[in-house]
Amino acid sequence: MDSWKSFGKFIGSHLAFIAPACVALGVLFPEQAGVLKPFVTALFAFMTFQGALGNNFANLAQAFRHPAPMLVTLLISSVAMPVVAYALGTLFFGDDPSLVCGIVLEYSVPVAVVSAMWVSMFGGDVAQALATLLVSTVLSPVTIPLTLHVLLGQSVQVDAAGMMVDMLFQIALPALAGMAVNDLSHGWGKKTLSPVLAPAAKVALVLVILSNSTGVSPYMRHLTPRLVGVMVFIALFATSGYFWGLIVSRLWRRPRAVQVTMTYQTGMRNISAGAVLAAQYFPSEVLFPVIIGTLFQQVLAACFGNFMTWLLAREDTALGQKGRGILSQNVEKR
pLDDT score recorded for residue 124: 83
- The verdict on pTM exceeding 0.75 is yes
| Mean pLDDT across 170-193 | 88
Highest mean pLDDT among 64-78, 125-139, 150-164: 64-78
Is 212 a residue whose pLDDT tops 50? yes
pLDDT score recorded for residue 261: 92
> What's the angle, vertex CA 319, arms to CA 314 and CA 322, rounded to 5?
125
pLDDT score recorded for residue 52: 79
Secondary structure class of 305 (helix, strand, coil): helix
- One DSSP character per residue, 127-178 reads HHHHHHHHHHHHHHHHHHHHHHHHHHTTTS---HHHHHHHHIIIIIHHHHHH
Alpha carbon dihedral 269, 10, 299, 279, in 10-degree steps, equals -40
pLDDT score recorded for residue 226: 92
Is 105 a residue whose pLDDT tops 80? yes
Residue 29 phi, psi dihedral angles, 5° rounding: -130, 65
pLDDT score recorded for residue 329: 45
pLDDT score recorded for residue 334: 41
Secondary structure class of 269 (helix, strand, coil): strand
pLDDT score recorded for residue 266: 95
pLDDT score recorded for residue 129: 84
d(CA 199, CA 196): 7
d(CA 132, CA 145): 19
pLDDT score recorded for residue 160: 64
d(CA 41, CA 32): 18
pLDDT score recorded for residue 326: 36
How confident is residue 302, by pLDDT bands cut at 50, 70 and 90? confident
| Mean pLDDT across 308-325 | 72
Is 324 a residue whose pLDDT tops 60? no
- Choice between 324 and 321, residue whose per-residue pLDDT is larger: 321
Burial class (CB in 10 A: 0-12, 13-18, 19+), 68: exposed
pLDDT score recorded for residue 69: 93
Is 154 a residue whose pLDDT tops 70? no
Q: What percent of the chain has pLDDT over 70?
A: 93
Q: 91-95, 120-124, 200-204, 245-249: which range is least confident on average?
A: 120-124
